[in-house]
Amino acid sequence: MSKVLAFDLGASSGRAVVVEYHEQKLDLQEIYRFPNQPVMLGNHLYWDICRLFHEIKCGLNQCAVNGHRDITSVAIDTWGVDFGLLDRDGDLLCNPYHYRDKRTNGIEEYIEEKIGLERLYYSSGIQNIWFNTSYQLAAMVKDKPDLLKLTHQLLMISDLLGYFLTGVCRNEFTAASTTQLFKTDAGSYHHELLAALGVPAHIFPPVIYPGQVLGSLKEEIAEESGLSPIPVVATASHDTSAAVVAVPAKQKDFIFISCGTWSLVGTELDSPIVNRETFVNGFSNEGTAENRINFLKNIMGLWIVQECKNYWNSQGKEVGFAELEALAVQSPPFASFIDVEDSLFISPGNMPDRIRDFCRSTGQPVPEDMGSIIRCATESLAMKYRQTIEQIEDVIGKKALPVHIIGGGCKDKTLCRFTAGALNRRVVAGPTEATAMGNAIIQLIAGGHIGSVADGRNIIKNSADIAVYEPERPLEWDAAYKRYREIIERKKD
């Protein structure tokens, strides 16, 4: 038996999960959970990185006091694109900005003028989108150049937390690949792009790959937590890449939908695909745990549903996700659709009214009650999945690939059922704990307990609860999809 500790941090919460590997199965035990609440200070939105590191240390301590001093390693995965800056003394210069901070508003025009958005995409293979590291750094060059002059090292969030644990500065490959400043196929930062944007290349530390050891817990942290100075492993520290490790696929080619606040829809490839079609349709080529490519698209996932719930709760209407899901099922199907990628839905706020505004502006019936609003959002997300998967399969020249939904979105059985209907194909849902499992698989590979990601996927088939959804009412979904496409195109025009 082998035992590792996986820290999995998302945009709203984090947790410490002890993963035991025994007799070709993984057993997960969540020993600590904590909120991840961004802080609005002045005009900017920040991650509370000091609090997050405190919670990491609390998780290490809970590991010790709950009888898990025998863990053999620890690893951290987080979201991508965001970063922290260190000065020459290794001290944090400021709290990391949140990717939803408004300082990148309008920066696309600045980048277009400086280097051109097409050049940026063709050089990196990463979708042009408002939260990219490249956009954030361009905003810093434009508005806070003195901060960059003081910067000695730039570390992605997962790597910043790893640095706090070990004192070692490295950027892990999968996290670095999300920056839009990294040549994934070459494994190095794009110095020409950095120079064109005015970003100093020397602030990027060397790259470390999944399965390599970053360092050991500092002695003072090990002593404080009650653990020994165990290795800190570089897992696939971008949470999407970690989650894809845990896809229980039976064959090499498959479609994954990593579903949570965001939805990442894609497939694994041996090399990047970067052309006019992928540029126009907003596809990215991100790194995988085995130095391959996750060819994918970022889609607004369950964020819209989450924000509807948050708004209603703020108005004194206490509803849970299960209740909203039940109300949606009871509502009439295919009444109205939204484009979940529309900029109208990016920011927090009164999401129900924004859904109504979209429907009103496109000449559709306006959903009024909770059930019809959630049904509209959920059906629209399933339609966006179909549209994106059709684009992926056209680009790679392979059709009808198996579809796997992984992550927290698997708990939304209605979304899974709608996705099977929209796609008119079987959908395999699970594991919900994909990211923590993928994080652990890489640690177990690093420790010599598992041979490869493929072996890890077979182990996950034996370990996780997997649900299968068959398509229902395909003709009705096809007719609704045609109407959905017409509405989306009309809105764009």
Active site residue ranges: 239
Q: Which residue has the tokens 């198996």?
A: 402
- In this structure, which amino acid lies at residue 376? C
SS3 label, residue 146: helix
Phi, psi of 483 (to 5 degrees): -70, -40
Q: Give the chain's length.
A: 493
**Eight-state DSSP code of residue 346:** S
Q: How far apart are CA 233 and CA 103, in angstroms?
A: 33
Q: How far apart are CA 386 and CA 109, in angstroms?
A: 31
Q: How far apart are CA 221 and CA 224, in angstroms?
A: 5
Q: How far apart are CA 130 and CA 136, in angstroms?
A: 8
Handedness of CA 412, 417, 419, 422 (dihedral sign): negative
Closest CA to 337 of 483, 493, 490: 483
Q: How far apart are CA 215 and CA 68, in angstroms?
A: 20
Q: How far apart are CA 375 and CA 429, in angstroms?
A: 20
Closest CA to 111 of 84, 83, 141: 141
* Buried b / exposed e along 317-345 (16+ C-beta atoms within 10 A): eeeeeeebbebbbebeebbbbbbbbeebb
Spatial CB neighbours of 8, under 8 Å, sequence gap ≥ 6: 14, 15, 17, 77, 239, 242, 435, 436, 439
SS3 label, residue 406: strand
